[in-house]
Structure 1
Amino acid sequence: MSHTAIHSDKAPEPVGAYPHARRVGNLLFLSGIGPRQKGTKVIPGVTLDADGKIVSADIEAQCRSVFDNVRTVLEASGSRWENLVDVTVYLTHMKRDFAIYNKLWAEYFHTNPPCRTTVEILSLPTPIAIELKCIATID
């Protein structure tokens, strides 16, 4: 079975040497996707000081951006939002951010939500508070 790497010119560039997604049969495996904007290092809802430390963070803005970025990669890969079957969510501050993230999850997945695992981690490679790792099907 072939494995096809997928790079989207509409999604933010990966922060390392990996594709946005990889297709194996009718399954699509997305690399970890965060809320950065394409072509920049701008993270919606995040203000950094001169040393690159986080001054303020709006988890709602980050959630909406990461969901949009996932949708972009899915569509560039021949899939769609409704085809998500499993999502692992990484949050850097569960107590502060979970309630808002969970409310937005229900908004974006109001019918037929995928399986989900949410874990808190110490940090992510860039100053983001959320990252998603997804598996979807391709029609």
Structure 2
Amino acid sequence: MTSRAPEPVGAYPYTRRVGNLLFLSGVGPRQRGQKAIPGVELDDEGNVVSYDFESQCHAVFQNVRYILEEAGAEWDDLVDVTVFLTNMKDDFPIYNRLYAEYFATAQPCRTTLEINCLPTPIAIELKCIAAINNEQ
């Protein structure tokens, strides 16, 4: 468990380590201890009225960093990132630009998929694998 990343929305761990591989469960932009999602405006029924995708990207990357650090890994240990977007057409250019900034030195493999929806009203989620030193 981590004290900085958002609480899981189900019965699963943040990470699972197998040998020198660290598998992260899907990570979204929510903030620990808050129900509000960065950059998301909801109506009274919980439907998304508008969202700031760039805010969500920054929050997701920060949450991944928190989880890695608390598991004894670093950003540069990432070897594979699977990205789930709910609006590829509008959000991919923003995501691609920010990804290039955040991953300027770390160059993990990447797969980006558009999906219909995520379990909470978010527009992005990352699934990551890191390779860490066995001595950590």
TM-score class, shorter-chain normalisation, is over 0.9
Does residue 75 in structure 1 map to residue 69 in structure 2?
yes
CA offsets 1:38-83 (integer angstroms, 9 cap, x no match): 0111211101111111011111000000000000000000001110
Q: 2:59 is matched with which residue?
A: 65
Unaligned runs of 5+ in 2: none
Moved over 6 A (4+): none
Does residue 118 in structure 1 map to residue 112 in structure 2?
yes
CA offsets 1:80-128 (integer angstroms, 9 cap, x no match): 1110000000000000100000000001011231000000000000000
**Identity percentage over the alignment?**
68
Q: 2:36 aligns with which of 27, 37, 42?
A: 42
Amino acid in the other structure paired with 1:82: D
Secondary structure in structure 1 of the residue aligned to 2:22: strand
Contact 2:83-2:127 within 8 A present in 1 as well: yes
Q: 2:130 is matched with which residue?
A: 136
Aligned residues: 133
Task: Give the direction of change, closer, same or farther, for the CA distance of 1:73–1:112 in structure 2 (3 Å limit).
Answer: closer
Amino acid in the other structure paired with 1:48: L
Secondary structure in structure 2 of the residue aligned to 1:10: coil
Give the TM-score normalised by structure 1. 0.94
Give the TM-score normalised by structure 2. 0.96
Does residue 27 in structure 1 map to residue 21 in structure 2?
yes
The CA RMSD over aligned residues, in Å, is: 0.7
Amino acid in the other structure paired with 1:113: Q
Secondary structure in structure 2 of the residue aligned to 1:113: coil
Does residue 84 in structure 1 map to residue 107 in structure 2?
no
Does residue 107 in structure 1 map to residue 101 in structure 2?
yes
> Mean Cα displacement is larger for which, 108-117 or 88-97?
108-117
Does residue 12 in structure 1 map to residue 6 in structure 2?
yes
